[in-house]
């Protein structure tokens, strides 16, 4: 394991260099603001007429078209949705890429699956925060950072790693630590994590538990608190202290019940399916499916979004989060991040 901290990174690798951050969404906003506040010369590259254009200007960023930003930059950091990066790269970035430039990403998807091809005399780097953009900004303002990953796919200049690490330091990531990886490892594990555990697995687990309780006649509000709301408290404990720390904080009854029953929920069938999901990712089957879906303007994704919005847990949850003031609190937190 190779981990880099502030003391290991010198931002001089980016002295006199211009970083163009392409995109001003979740990651683009957080990362460009942090890098700019850290003293880097940052341009935000956007399409004219999009919602982000005015937003980035209002936030005081130096905004240019993607083409102009690419022309001026030494480092082009592409923070657009993964499924459109290849198109935008081809049309608006590739024509202006010069030898010795660095093309940088926060996810290895388009390089690893070969949707984007970069000339040999250009660096290909990744600096990826392990968390959403709002957290990248919030923790930076609090004087800390979230952990990150760094990877080098192509080192044309001999200092590609220094450039990527300098970007990570300017984003605040080396305060928590930047772990070295490869494009392949980051891409495949990131996709697996979000599908099987973080986004896919956990929502299905919560909803299955919620539905079990509601169908058995318990109040939906109680079911929501038990299967969804409390999850955050448990995850926070695991995040800070590991499994043992969590077991130590819950009752012995919870510990015995949990340890003796959990493999009936995540059983051999579930583990077999996890392996299958990973293999679909490794073989590029998932990526092909997603490329077709996004080219067709996302009919399945839109349908799944619609179906989920009709789920009881979403209705009950929304009502409860309002009643407990949780949505208001989350909004205030977000506004605070944007205002500062
Ligand atoms: P977003 O979906 O938030 O990006 C939105 C931005 O992309 C907006 O500025 C939008 O501009 C622009 N955009 C969208 N469509 C187009 C288009 N057709 N042409 C030009 N610009 C367009 O992306 P994320 O921040 O979620 O993701 C960026 C990268 O970071 C991805 O590689 C992702 O995998 C990675 N990542 C994301 C994380 C996250 O938490 N979100 C975590 C770690 C990595 P406009 O307003 O004009 O539409
Ligand atoms: Mg991801
Ligand atoms: Mg309980």
Domain ranges of the chain: 3-181, 192-339
Looking at every residue in the chain, the average pLDDT score rounds to: 96
Enter the DSSP assignment of 12: G
**Which residue owns the Cα nearest ligand 1 atom 5?**
25
Which of 58, 52, 59, 1 is closest to 22 using CA atoms? 52
Which of 241, 238, 217, 213 is closest to 226 using CA atoms? 213
Residue 28 Cα: closest atom of ligand 1: 25
- Is 34 in contact with 171 (CB distance < 8 Å)? yes
**Which residue owns the Cα nearest ligand 1 atom 37?**
27
pLDDT level of residue 331 (50, 70, 90 thresholds): confident
pLDDT level of residue 335 (50, 70, 90 thresholds): low
pLDDT over threshold 60, residue 338: no
Separation of alpha carbons 4 and 15, rounded Å = 20
**Which residue owns the Cα nearest ligand 1 atom 20?**
47
Torsion of CA 173, 168, 338, 200, to 10 degrees: -70
Residues 6+ apart with CB under 8 A from 121: 99, 100, 156
Confidence at residue 339, expressed as pLDDT on a 0 to 100 scale? 43
Q: Cα of 332 to ligand 2 centre, how many Å?
A: 26
Residues 6+ apart with CB under 8 A from 218: none
Separation of alpha carbons 194 and 286, rounded Å = 13
Q: Cα of 261 to ligand 2 centre, how many Å?
A: 31
Mutate to test the pocket of ligand 1, among 20, 22, 50 (most ligand atoms within 8 A of CB): 50
Residue 178 pairs in a beta bridge with 4, 148
Confidence at residue 340, expressed as pLDDT on a 0 to 100 scale? 38
**Which residue owns the Cα nearest ligand 1 atom 18?**
84
Mutate to test the pocket of ligand 1, among 23, 66, 125, 183 (most ligand atoms within 8 A of CB): 23
pLDDT over threshold 90, residue 175: yes
Residue 52 Cα: closest atom of ligand 1: 46
Separation of alpha carbons 24 and 7, rounded Å = 29
CA 159 to chain CA centroid, nearest Å = 26
* CATH superfamily of this structure's domain 3-181: NAD(P)-binding Rossmann-like Domain (3.40.50.720)
DSSP H or E segment with residue 18 = strand 18-22
Mind listing the pLDDT tens digit for each residue in 258-317? 999 999 999 999 999 999 999 999 999 999 999 999 999 999 999 999 999 999 999 999
Reduced to 3 states (helix: H, G, I; strand: E, B; else coil), residue 104 is strand
Q: Which residue has the higher pLDDT, 337 or 296?
A: 296
> Catalytic one among 77, 107, 112, 229?
107
**Which residue owns the Cα nearest ligand 1 atom 39?**
132
Q: Which two tokens stand for residue 70?
A: 């690419």
Ligand 1: residues with CB < 6 A are 23-28, 46-47, 50-52, 79-82, 84, 88, 105-107, 128-129, 132-133
Q: Cα of 78 to ligand 1 centre, how many Å?
A: 9
DSSP H or E segment with residue 19 = strand 18-22
Residues 6+ apart with CB under 8 A from 278: 188, 192, 196
Task: Tell me if ipTM is over 0.95.
Answer: yes
- Is 101 in contact with 74 (CB distance < 8 Å)? yes
- Is 118 in contact with 152 (CB distance < 8 Å)? no
pLDDT level of residue 327 (50, 70, 90 thresholds): confident
Mind listing the pLDDT tens digit for each residue in 77-126? 999 999 999 999 999 999 999 999 999 999 999 999 999 999 999 999 99
- Is 130 in contact with 146 (CB distance < 8 Å)? yes
pLDDT level of residue 337 (50, 70, 90 thresholds): low
pLDDT over threshold 60, residue 248: yes
77 noted as active-site residue:
no
């Amino acid at each position: 394991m190779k981990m880099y901290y502030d003391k290991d990174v010198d931002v001089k690798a980016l002295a006199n260099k211009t970083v163009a951050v392409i995109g001003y969404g979740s990651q683009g906003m957080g990362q460009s603001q942090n890098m700019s506040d850290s003293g880097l010369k940052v341009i935000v590259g956007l399409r004219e007429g999009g919602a982000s254009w005015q937003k980035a200007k209002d936030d005081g960023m130096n905004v240019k078209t993607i083409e102009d930003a690419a022309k001026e930059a030494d480092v082009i950091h592409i923070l657009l949705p993964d499924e459109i990066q290849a198109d935008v790269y081809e049309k608006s970035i590739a024509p202006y890429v010069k030898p010795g430039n660095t093309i940088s990403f926060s996810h290895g998807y388009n390089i690893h699956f070969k949707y984007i091809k970069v000339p040999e005399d250009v660096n290909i780097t990744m600096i990826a925060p392990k968390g959403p953009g709002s957290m990248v900004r919030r923790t930076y303002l609090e004087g800390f950072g979230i952990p990150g990953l760094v990877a080098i796919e192509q080192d044309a200049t001999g200092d590609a790693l220094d450039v990527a690490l300098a970007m990570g330091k300017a984003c605040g990531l080396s305060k928590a630590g930047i772990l070295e990886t490869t494009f392949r490892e980051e891409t495949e594990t990131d996709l697996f994590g979000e599908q099987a555990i973080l986004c896919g697995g956990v929502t299905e687990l919560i909803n299955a538990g919620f539905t079990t309780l509601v169908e058995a006649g318990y109040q939906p509000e109680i079911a929501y608190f038990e299967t969804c709301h409390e999850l955050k408290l448990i995850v926070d404990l695991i995040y800070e202290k590991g499994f043992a720390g969590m077991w130590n904080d819950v009752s012995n009854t919870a510990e015995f019940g949990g340890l003796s029953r959990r493999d009936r929920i995540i059983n051999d069938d579930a583990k077999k399916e996890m392996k299958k999901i990973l293999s679909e990712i490794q073989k590029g089957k998932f990526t092909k499916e997603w490329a077709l879906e996004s080219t067709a303007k996302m009919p399945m994704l839109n349908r799944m979004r619609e179906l989920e919005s009709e789920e009881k847990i979403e209705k009950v949850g929304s009502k409860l989060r309002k009643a407990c003031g949780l949505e208001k609190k989350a909004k205030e937190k977000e506004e605070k991040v944007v205002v500062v």
